Every structure is written in C-alpha cells, then in structure tokens.
Chain A
Amino acid sequence: MKSAREIVSFIGGAALRAWRSLRDVGTWSPLLVGQMRRLGVDSIPIALFIAVFTGIVLALLSSYIFTGTVPNYFVGALVGKTIMLELGPVLTGMALAGRVGANIAAEIGTMKVTEQVDALETLAYDPGSYLVVPRVLAATVMFPVVTALAIGVGVLTGWFTAINLLDLTTLEFVKGLRMFYQFKDLWFGLIKAASFGLVVALTGCLRGLATQNGAEGVGRETTRAVVIGCEAILALDAFWALVLL
C-alpha cells in the first residue's frame, strides 16, 4: 500500500515538475530550434539512407513474393502500404533512437557527472526547462518530419527499383500504390513517429539525468537509453496498431 502511494506520489511530482518546466517558455524556447536542427535535420541523412535501401529491398521482395496469379501492380501496393504504415516510422524511429537517444543521454549524462546540471540549478535554471523540454519537444516535432521524408524517399526508391529492375511500368506501380491507399495510412505513420520521438527523447533525458559514477556511468546510461528507446518504439508500435488500425 505504501509503495502504491509512493508510485502515485512520484507520478504526481513528475507531472508537476514537467508542467512547471513547460510553463517556463522563456527558458526552453530559445533552445528549441537548435535542438530541432540537431535532433531532426541532422538525422535526415541516416533516415534517408535507411529509407532508400528499404524501398529497394521491399520492391525486390514483393516481386519475388508476387509470382503466378498475383498481378505485378501489387508491388506498388506492398511497397506503399508497408513503408507508410510500418517500416518508415519504425526503422526511422529505431535509427533515431540510436542516434538521438544516445546523443541526449551522453550529453546530459556528461553534464550530470561534471556537475554542470548542478551549476544550472545554482544559476536558477530549471534543468527540466533547460535540458529536457527543448529536446523532447524537438524530437516530438521532428521525428514525424524526418519520417515523412523517409516515407517519400522509400516509396520513390521502390518505384525506381520496380521500373528499372523489375518488369513493371510506372502506371502499374502507381495503380498498386493507389489501390489500397487511405488517408489514414499517412497520419497513422506520423502519429507513431511523434510518439517515438517523445519516448526516445524522454528516455535519453531521464537516463542522462540519472547518470552517476563518471564516464563509466555515462556509457552505461547511454546504452540503456538506446535499448529502452528501441524497446519502447516496438511496444508503442504494437500499441498504436491495436488502438488505431
């Protein structure tokens, strides 16, 4: 009973601190754009790299699967649906979990072990407002943006592969792409990406703030942040599939 009370108290305290940090707009707003560039724009190359090869492999795999009675234009349907609904958000999220989650955890963890966080508090800065909120908001906003670009590039490379390496025309690919398309396919992937960004950045921040024992602790918490971020992405993926599909 006591532990339950403690848990509720912890949740309440965390919520209050988060609310206080969010209200401190003057502290986090100047840092937001910089974090968006670092976490989002700078992550575009790795996201697009993954998307390019995902599109190629999907087109080849679908042409390998769809033989015999299944028409070729289903390559377009499979590439579009798979990238928009699943592979685009999840693979991008996993890649960014490695890059962004590790970046955040290592940065804040280093600040923690070098007592820079304590210095911020000494200077009357709320570490939540100064370190956590801009990173979490930036990741939540930029993950869908990066994912949207990755989806577009993945579909384009799938189309390019289909018309160059497979016996498929642009019209057939587009027919398959449009055949099962629903508007939900797009926003479903973007909502997932936003939730992935939120969880990855929050995990990185929390693990960074929990860092102890110097450089060894930084490495340990960075690893934990990446692992927990990836696990959270997979869990959220299943959750959204249950809730939204």
Chain B
Amino acid sequence: MKRTSEFSVGLVIVIAVVALVVAGLWLGQVGPRGPKTLQVALFRTVGGVKVGDPVVLRGVKVGRVEAIRLAKDDWVETDLRMTSPDELPPNPIAIAASASLFGEWQVAVMDSSRVPNDPELARALVEARHNASGRMPGATLPDVGQLTAQASRIASDIAVVTNRVSSAFDSQSIVDIRSSVRDLRKMADRLVNFTQAQTTALDSVVNNASTSSTSIVSASKHLQATLERVDSSTASGELSALVKDARAATADIRSASSDFKSLASSANSQRDNLTHILTATDVVLTRLEKGQGTLGMMSRDSTLYLEMTKTVVQLRSLLADVQANPRRYFRFSVF
C-alpha cells in the first residue's frame, strides 16, 4: 500500500513538473536556439513595452525584452535578448511600437537608414544617439490610444466645422440660394436667346468671310499675274531701268527733303516770333481786360470819356466865343 502511494504521488508530481516546464518553454518560445546576444537600447520612454515582449528584426521575431530599468537623465534602458547576433544591421536602432490594435507592443530593430519618415521619431533617435555611448538608440512611436485621441480631436474639429456650415445654411440662406438659382436660370435663358441671335449674325459673318475669301483668292490670282509680269519684266531688263529711275527719283526726293528741312527751320523761327508776339499781345490784352494801365482804365471807366466829351463841348463853345469876341481874350497894343 505504501509503495503504491509513493509511486502514484511521485508519478503525479513528475507529470506536473514536466508539464509545467514544457508548457512554460513552449509558451514562452524559449530554448537553446543558437548563440544569443544582449543588446541594451536607450529610450526616452518605452511606451507600453513590457518585459517579455517580442523583439523583431525585419518582421521576424529574434528575441524578447529581458529587462527594463530607469537610467540617469530621464532615460530608460531596455535589455534586448536576441538570437541571430550576426544578422544585426551595422547601425542598429530600436523602435518601440504597437504590434496590434489591442495593446501588444514590440521592439523592432532596424538599420538607422530605414527609419520611418517621422520628424518626431527622427528627433528622438538623434537625441538618443547623442546619449547612447555604446547602447542602441531607441525611440517610441505613438500608441493606438494616442492616435485615437488625435483622430478624436480631428473628428471633433470636423463636427464643429459641420455645425458651422449647417448654421450658415439656414432657411434664409436657402431662400437666397433658390432666388439666385432662379436668377441664374433667367440669365441662362437670356444667354440662349443672345446666342441664337449671335448665331444668325455669325452666319452672316461667315458668309461674308466666305465672300472675302473668294475675293482674296481672286486678288491672289491677280497678284500672281502681276508677279508673273514682274518676272517677265525682270527677264527683259526693264527692271534695271526702273531701278535707275527710282534711284534718280530718290536723289530728287533727298534734295527736296533738304529744302523742306530749311523751310521748316525758317517756319520754326517765324513760329517762335509769332508766339512771342502773341504772348506779348496776350499780356497786354490781359492787363487791358483787368483794367490795368491807362488804356485799361479807359476801357473799363466811362468817366474820362464823358469828361472829355464835355471838355470838347466846352472847347467848342469857347472857340465860338473867342471868334465872336476876340477882344475879350486877345489885347493888342503897340505901346
């Protein structure tokens, strides 16, 4: 009985221990798979990465996160236990990122030349590389929660804009738009009528153009005949005579032009004199019109004229009186 008990208890314990060890190794995917290396990556923050999360190289799982600890100057050191150390790129970097939408994270090891095109990520990597000192520079991509929050903010903004657009398109706006549409329709009708009218005119223009084209064809025929005649004239030497005559005519025109130039020069001087005279006359007339000077005053004031008339009348009566009574005015004596 005792031996049976010992065997059954031992068997159960052995089965349980073996099952535990096998299950632990199988689930954790650990075991002797060739050489391993320990890489230390430096992050500003590791996001949601936890101990045990996978480390992937070109999408293939090559290890797991072995330890995470705080480091000096607000850094975080992460131990990455990796197989296939020979496959590591020459300038490795570590990118911590969400592995799926459900909170799983992973650390992707890649060459620094293959960094995703993200300015914030590049800045974090530069900062980590500056402080790495032998460790692998690392950066963290935003997790799904952050992206969702950003999308939520964008959705809120869109909702605000939509509400504003909705309030802008109230009933009055719709009435205005309908009115505008009616006006547009009327305008379109007018445009149609106008186009029809213009079409008739255009037809006429096209006809005229056709006629003109016919005339041009006729003219071109005449021109062709003329050119043929010129061509024939060139052939009989008449053209050289024409050139000579043209040359002589050109000389005459030059001489006449010279005479005309001297005549124009004389005319210019006469014009200047005339301008001067007209300017002086204008000044005199202006002063006369303004009543300046004797003539001006005379022209604008009739008193002098009237006084002169009276004076003349008085002189005539005086002269008559002198003729009638000379002794009153002249006295002759010898002694």
CB within 8 Å of B: which residues of A?
33-34, 36-37, 40-41, 44, 69-71, 74, 80, 141-142, 144-146, 148-149, 152, 177-183, 186, 190
Closest 9 A-B residue pairs measured CB to CB? A145-B16, A37-B5, A181-B27, A148-B16, A36-B9, A182-B52, A41-B8, A37-B9, A152-B19
B side interface size, CB within 8 A: 23
Q: B residues within 8 A CB of A41? A: 8-9, 12
Q: B residues within 8 A CB of A141? A: 13
Whether the pair B102, A149 counts as a contact (CB closer than 8 A) is no
Chain A at the B interface: SS class = helix
Contacts A178-B27, A179-B104; A40 near B5 (Cβ below 8 A) = no
Closest-by-CB residue of B relative to A153 is B19
CA distance A183 to B104 in the complex (A): 17
B28 at the interface (CB under 8 A from A): yes
Report A133 CB to chain B, min CB distance, Å: 17
Contacts A70-B102, A148-B19, A182-B52; A177 near B12 (Cβ below 8 A) = no
Q: Which of A34, A146, A190 has the most CB of B within 10 A?
A: A34
Q: B residues within 8 A CB of A37? A: 5, 8-9
Q: B residues within 8 A CB of A152? A: 19, 23
Whether the pair B20, A44 counts as a contact (CB closer than 8 A) is no
Q: Which B residues from 102 to 117 make CB contacts under 8 A with A?
A: 102, 104
Task: Give me 14 A-to-B residue pairs in the complex whose CB atoms sit less than 8 angstroms apart, sorted by A's number.
Answer: A33-B5, A34-B5, A37-B5, A40-B12, A41-B12, A145-B16, A146-B16, A148-B19, A178-B27, A179-B104, A181-B28, A181-B52, A183-B24, A186-B20
Whether the pair B29, A178 counts as a contact (CB closer than 8 A) is yes
Whether the pair B9, A183 counts as a contact (CB closer than 8 A) is no
Q: B residues within 8 A CB of A36? A: 5, 9
CB < 8 Å neighbour of A186 from B15, B23, B50, B102: B23
Closest-by-CB residue of A relative to B25 is A183
CA distance A180 to B50 in the complex (A): 10
Whether the pair B5, A149 counts as a contact (CB closer than 8 A) is no
Closest-by-CB residue of B relative to A77 is B102
Closest-by-CB residue of B relative to A155 is B23
Report B21 CB to chain A, min CB distance, Å: 10
